[in-house]
A and B are shown apart, each in its own frame.
Chain A
Amino acid sequence: MAKRITHYLLPCFVGFLYLFLYLPIIVLILFSFNKNAFTYQWTGFTFEWYHQLLKSSEIWSALHNSLLVASISVIFSISMGAIFVFFGTKVRQLLLLFYGSLTIPEIVLAVGMLSFFVVTQVPLGITALIAGHTLLGLGYVIPIIYIRFNELDTELIEASLDLGATQIQTFFKIVLPWLMPALFAASLLVFIISFDDFVISFFCTSAASQTLPIYIFSMIRAGEMPIVSALSAVLLFVSSLLVLLFSALQIKRIGFGR
């Protein structure tokens, strides 16, 4: 009998933990359809908040900024990262340069960047954000691509060079196709990191170039509960689609590494 109980103990615990993880999110989604904005009592079903969400021009411009910064950061960090891994990792020590950004709290980095932009008189805003998010991205991209690159048989590269291909040709014809899955995984990762980033954005953006997380933060502070719930539900839906896409492509192994 005692064995029976211990047998069910672990699954029950895991069940409770999943409940703990998902209860707040489920409640949040439910209440995004609640009619009354000011109580936590259920008063009726409505699409009103989603409607307001669509109408708000601020949200659209914040979304536009976020998408812009995220896409450019992905392009920058992926292209620089891939080229670096192929051409630069012959000097192993260079690789160590990139492990720093993941080991300090983001707020220290953000404050450092703010000081840097103030000293160099770069105006805060989209440009500063792209610089910051690309840097964050490099910290993830380079290890991911490097692991994949190491699994490539060096004989393939040597054969290609022996057969007369230049380094550049070898890069595009041999290395790049091999790196593709890692590049895709890393792109998605950097996109999400940039899109969700709050700390660096909070310090390095201007009022005119709000990103979505900054906008959500100010909305929460202003107490605009129902609209934030509707927005959250939409974002949750989109990110679950992305994760599904990610795992469907059988590359979640790489994403787990971080």
Chain B
Amino acid sequence: MKKITAIKSAFIREVSLIFSVPAVLWQILFFYLPLFILIYTSFFQSYLIFFNIMFVRVIVRSLVLAGGSAALCLLLAYPVAYFLALKVERGKNILLFLLTLPFWTNFLIQIFAWFFLLDRNGIINILLKKINLITEPLYLLNNQFSIFLVMVYCYLPFMIMPLYSILNKMDIALLEASMDLGATRWQTFKRVTLPLSITGIKTGVLLVFVPAFGEFVIPALVGGSKYMLVGSLITYYFLVVRDSKLGAAFTVVSGLTLLGCVVLFDRCCQLVSGKRKAR
């Protein structure tokens, strides 16, 4: 009798795997299959077309923009995350709340907000004119500067969060020990804090770099139409000229480039942290 129940429960255990089918099926149907179709479609396009300076330029421009945004975000975010995690005592919750708020608001609103500041007749130009710094209004919108600025603005919280969560977990005793043993503040930072936060840096950089590479809303709204980026070109092929073969092929090529960069970055991070351990 007992054996039968054991068999029965083992059977139920196996059968219960069926319940996991909907999620798996959904994932396969709407994630892996679309990617497969995309790659399949792209094979109807000759890849030779990409040996063209135009495509290289678009991809390189996107890489530089995404890399630059990630780098500047890191430079701006690290002090803030450091301050919030290790320095601030009062009002920490309200500061964190203010930081998460843009996270939960629509991307478009954040982009839109910059129009008031950057427009030719906007706040910045009005102020600069008032203090007689300029006589003619500056063109602050529809150029690479505005794309870069808004990109950094929108992705900054994505960099601060992982840095904060890793610095927040850091053992303060380690820092105190380092200072006690005679290291200066800068040495402590360089030898202890920074190496320990390398995983946070990695997550943050990827969270900014990957979406920034494919970004098309920001260039579409504040970039004017002069600067083609990967995201804008993909959109152009699929929605304007409706050439899905070329569009798919370009998506695959730029996706692979991105993948290559991510792998390279990952290797670099490993090298850096491995070197530290070996020492």
Write the residues of chain A forming the contact surface with B, with a CB cutoff of 8 angstroms: 10-11, 13-14, 17-18, 20-25, 27-28, 31, 39-41, 76, 80-81, 83-84, 86-91, 94, 97-98, 100-101, 103-109, 111-116, 118-119, 131-132, 134-135, 138, 142, 161, 166-167, 192, 196, 198-199, 202-203, 212-213, 216-217, 220-221, 225, 228-229, 232, 235-236, 239-240, 242-244, 247, 252, 255-258
Q: Pull 20 A–B residue pairs with CB atoms less than 8 Å apart, ordered by A.
A: A10-B83, A13-B83, A14-B83, A17-B76, A18-B98, A20-B153, A25-B102, A84-B23, A87-B16, A90-B17, A94-B20, A100-B31, A109-B31, A109-B35, A115-B244, A199-B217, A216-B106, A240-B101, A243-B97, A244-B97
Docked complex Cα distance between A257 and B158 (Å): 11
Tell me how far the C-beta of B167 lies from the nearest C-beta in chain A, rounded to whole angstroms.
12
Nearest chain B CB to A14 CB, angstrom units: 5
Closest 10 CB pairs of A and B: A88-B20, A105-B214, A112-B34, A24-B113, A84-B23, A116-B34, A87-B19, A107-B214, A28-B113, A80-B23
CA distance A137 to B235 in the complex (A): 23
Q: B residues near A, CB below 8 A? A: 9, 12-13, 16-20, 22-24, 26-28, 30-35, 37-38, 41, 76, 79-80, 82-84, 87, 93, 95-102, 104-110, 112-117, 119, 121-123, 126, 153, 156, 161, 164-165, 210-211, 213-217, 221, 231, 234-235, 238-239, 244, 247-248, 251, 255, 258
Is the beta-carbon distance between B216 and A107 smaller than 8 angstroms?
yes
State A25–B9 Cα separation when bound (angstroms): 58
Task: Give the residues in chain B near A217, CB-CB below 8 Å.
Answer: 108, 217, 221
Q: Which B residues are in CB contact (< 8 Å) with A220?
A: 108, 112, 115, 221
Residues of chain B with a CB closer than 8 A to A232's CB: 106, 109, 112-113
Residues of A within 8 A of B244 (CB): 115, 118
Partner of A106, one of B28, B95, B214: B214
In the complex, the answer to whether B247 meets A88 with C-beta atoms within 8 Å is: no
Chain B CB within 10 Å — which of A23, A80, A212, A242 has the most?
A80
**Residue of A23, A100, A142, A242 touching B104 (CB-CB under 8 A):** A242
Count, A-B residue pairs, CB within 8 A: 233
Distance in angstroms between the alpha carbons of A94 and B87 in the assembled complex: 42
